[in-house]
Structure 1
Amino acid sequence: MPSPLSTEEIEALARKRAGAKLGWYTHAAAFAVVNLALFGMSRYGFGDRPWSVYPLLGWGLGLALHGISVFVLGTGNGLRERMVQKERERLQREQDRNGH
């Protein structure tokens, strides 16, 4: 069972998670603006067929994966936190074995 987090660790983790969420919202806003512009160019300007669906799908997949990494895997009991905790414990054991 992981040890309780200190106030400083809670603050650092909260800032990191808020930054990750803000990064996703920025990514989503850029996605919307750029894809609206591409749609306009595709519909009213360049090309005979609507080609804007291709960047929309590709970038949409990237945005979805980014969202999963932030909102699903980045939660309190997520995979990343468990991996970090295991590494922290391993490093502490090594340090204790070496007498530090």
Structure 2
Amino acid sequence: MEINYNEEDKYYLAKKKVENIKGFYGNLASFIVVNTVLLVVNLLTSPDHLWFYWPLMWWGLGVLFHGLKVFEILPTLGKDWEERKIKEIMDKEKENKNKWQ
């Protein structure tokens, strides 16, 4: 299903993509700063018991998936999947509507 966008729609979609990328970089920067602080706190307070890697690992996983979605690397998270799902739902609605008329 090919959608023809006018210039205003293209601008809106590009602006939304830039906002998503900006949000990812904000998340990544927070991840780096906070986990660096956690590493320092862990090493200064209890160097014999390392715990900093737990938030590093789980938040890192979240950052990874956020990046995959924003940069549309995984097909299940990208625009193509969204458009296919929208078409599927619209077709089902049309089929159901025609069935009851």
TM-score by length of 1: 0.75
> Which residue is 1:57 aligned to?
57
Residue 40 in 1 paired to residue 44 in 2?
no
Alpha-carbon offset, residue 45 of structure 1: 1.9
Show structure 1 runs of 5+ residues with no match: none
**Identity in percent:** 33
Structure 2's unaligned 5+ residue stretches are none
Partner of 1:79: 81
Indicate the SS of the match to 2:48: coil
Cα distance between partner residues in 1 of 2:61 and 2:26 = 16
RMSD over aligned Cα atoms:
2.5
Q: After the TM superposition, which parts of structure 1 deviate over 4 Å for at least 4 consecutive aligned residues?
A: none
Q: CA deviation at 1:47?
A: 6.0
- Other-structure match for 2:30: 30
Distance 2:80 2:59 in 1: 25
Q: How many residues in Structure 1 have an aligned counterpart in Structure 2?
A: 91
2:9 aligned with 1:13? no
Distance in 1 separating the partners of 2:12 and 2:59: 30
